[in-house]
Structure 1
Amino acid sequence: MSSSTTSRFASIWDSISFGYQSPHEMSNFEDLTQPNYEIQLLREEIERMKAFQKAETEKQSASSKLPAHSPLPSPSPSPNYDEVLERLERLELQLTSCCKKNTNLTQIIESEVKHIVDSKLSHFQTKYDHQLELEIDKAKTAMLELVREQATNYSLNKPSGAFDAADVETMIRNAITKYDADKTGEADYALESSGAWIINTRCSETYEVFSATYKLFGLTLWKSKTTPRTVIQSGVVPGECWCFKGSEGRIGIHLAARIIPTSFSYEHIPVSISRDGHIQSAPANFAVYGLNAEDDVEPALLGEYRYQIGENDQPLQRFEVSKTVTALQTFKYVELVVKSNHGHPEYTCLYRFRVHGKPVFDEEV
């Protein structure tokens, strides 16, 4: 889009949106209204000419009836027909010019709007096609891993080479069922849509890394920001994570129900779909604590773990509660404490964190 066309379109957009007309547009408006004013004057002039002609006819009729010795009335000045014709020609030229200007302006607006809309649609189509491909690849990888897991389980119970078609079908069906069950086959009591929410992040400061900006005609309409809530929402998409400054951070979660925690799951994006070609910002060493209140000053340690990002490590990793002393206690809150990352010097990013366990109702406590 050329700069002159952009400025022209911007001024038109301003006049439409905010009722403001630039000097350039005002001159165009005057060009369009001037011929109409001239036409009105011309119509009045024609009416005067008709009246003049009628008066002249009446005078001639009256003079023919006068006696021969009566003096003839002095003739009225005749209208200037050449001037009227000249004005008509001038008006025709102005109207033709204005119509051409108006048509050209409309064509420019339609062309620019079509170009902008097509560009935006193409951008969104490419973006969502890419996201769909990523989701399909992730689903394939997860399904293959689950099928291998089912095959391993069957191999423990059957002699080598004894698999048949029914066994393979059963393995695939079980793998699909487990994948549909949030990839874990277990309830996630930290899931926001199930009733959990973030209570605090202590002193952890949000670090804005991925910020999608949506613009129209150069104006920023909306800028997306990720929050700690992303950690307990379903789905793992590149960029949809919560990042905090440095390599140490905390996040407290109010669980969807009081539970006896049994395990935790953390899922990060694989390095294959990272825009940077690495996942150094992934958490490395971390611990999980159980709390009885939001401001619990003596939280119970449930376990200390390390998230691995090796070539053979899966994006979704499970961690069992390792502290037997607190294994049978019930908790309504948990706190995830990240102690290090995999080498990023500026920030650490958290994707999906799950909490599994056995729900305990009030009468059982």
Structure 2
Amino acid sequence: MDYGYGNEGCFQNVFRSFVCVTLSLLLGLQVYTYLWGPQDVIEGDFTDIKYVVMQLTHGLSEVTSKHEQLQSEMERMSAALPAVAAAAGRAKDALEPSRRSPRHALDIRDYDRQIADYALETAGARVIDTGDTTEHAIYESPVGWVLYVVSSVLCRDCPGAAAILRPGTLPGECWAFKGSRGEATIRLLGTVYVTGVSIEHIPAHISPTREISSAPRLFQLEGLEYRSDQYPHDFGTYEYKKDGKAIQYFEVQHPSTKAYNLVRFRVLSNWGHTVYTCVYRVRVHGDLALGQAPSQISKDDQELRIENE
């Protein structure tokens, strides 16, 4: 860290130049006096020169000493700054516990037992729409291809997209869609004040190809009033780091005072795979609307809200 040591060095150079110029002038004057002046005057002038030189040397020593003290003090302050910053961070977390991000406290090995997931299929959440997203599938036979085409025509829902709401995250247990952009509209298990979202992908060391370029990179989360809502609430755009932890938590960037039953998860890019993108697990976190529990929401009410367009 630079605290202006260059300026101090520049000042020293100027001071030394001044001393050299002064001494040169005095010596030149003495040489002139010695050649063309009386002897007694020369002896007195040399005494004066000695005194001046002593004063200048003393002043230079003081400047050097002050510079060394300042440099030592700056180094001590620089060494103390990280500790001060860490203490300030701890104090901020202690004063604002509600803004503390849970991603530092959660154990990735037992993630689902520490924070509620309102997009869990086994609790009642569903993927109800995938827009224009085209599912990527490998067909082992013509019959499999025909069944897939028929199911895609008859059902707007994407059968493979349900994988993002299920606990299993072994290699291949994901929703794969063509290209690097896709979306899924999720009906949560209740009306939720959304505070965060977690994305999970398999780590590279358990991938059969030893790389995860098909993992989502940039993604967006939106809150919807109904399925075809043209003015959704934008909770934020985030980046999943492929070299980070398998499960990554993201706090909403734009909180809403409104609770939502529908959210849209949109993948905007992946980490370089040119054919398809894989999404393994999406979790939505927050708090249920006051006075509401998942069991209090009837199936009829859910379907009515979804189709309210």
Query: What is the TM-score of this pair, normalised by structure 2?
Result: 0.53
Cα deviation per residue 1:119-143 (whole Å; 9 max; x = unaligned)? xxxxxxxxxxxxxxxxxxxxxxxxx
**Aligned: 1:265 with 2:198:** yes
Q: 1:341 to 1:181 in 2, by over 3 A?
A: closer
SS in structure 2 of the partner of residue 227 of structure 1: helix
- Residue 323 of structure 1 aligns with an amino acid whose one-letter code is H
How far the C-alpha of 1:292 sits from its partner, in A, is 1.1
Tell me the equivalent position of 1:318.
249
Identity fraction in percent:
36
Cα deviation per residue 1:262-294 (whole Å; 9 max; x = unaligned)? 000000000001011110000000100001111
Q: 1:200 to 1:231 in 2, by over 3 A?
A: same
Tell me the equivalent position of 1:340.
269
Q: 1:330 to 1:227 in 2, by over 3 A?
A: same
SS in structure 1 of the partner of residue 223 of structure 2: strand
User: What is the aligned-residue RMSD (CA, Å)?
Assistant: 3.0
**Aligned: 1:300 with 2:233:** yes
Q: 1:199 to 1:246 in 2, by over 3 A?
A: same
Question: Greater Rg, structure 1 or structure 2?
Answer: 1
How far the C-alpha of 1:180 sits from its partner, in A, is 3.9
Cα deviation per residue 1:196-247 (whole Å; 9 max; x = unaligned)? 00110000000015x789xxxxxx9xx9997110010112110011111110
How far the C-alpha of 1:362 sits from its partner, in A, is 5.9
Residue pairs, 1:1-365, within 5 angstroms: 179-180=109-110, 182=112, 185-209=114-138, 227-310=160-243, 313-324=244-255, 326=256, 328-361=257-290
Give me the whole-angstrom Cα distance separating, in 2, the residues matched to 1:331 and 1:354: 15
Give me the whole-angstrom Cα distance separating, in 2, the residues matched to 1:181 and 1:322: 22
How far the C-alpha of 1:295 sits from its partner, in A, is 1.5
Number of residues of Structure 1 aligned to a counterpart in Structure 2 = 179
Q: 1:296 to 1:362 in 2, by over 3 A?
A: farther
Alpha carbons 1:208, 1:226 under 8 Å: kept: no
Tell me the equivalent position of 1:147.
none
Structure 1: 5+ residue runs without aligned partners? Answer: 1-155, 158-173, 214-219
Query: What is the TM-score of this pair, normalised by structure 1?
Result: 0.45
Q: 1:360 to 1:241 in 2, by over 3 A?
A: same
Give me the whole-angstrom Cα distance separating, in 2, the residues matched to 1:201 and 1:362: 31
SS in structure 1 of the partner of residue 112 of structure 2: coil
- Residue 281 of structure 2 aligns with an amino acid whose one-letter code is R
SS in structure 2 of the partner of residue 182 of structure 1: helix
SS in structure 2 of the partner of residue 193 of structure 1: helix
- Residue 276 of structure 1 aligns with an amino acid whose one-letter code is T
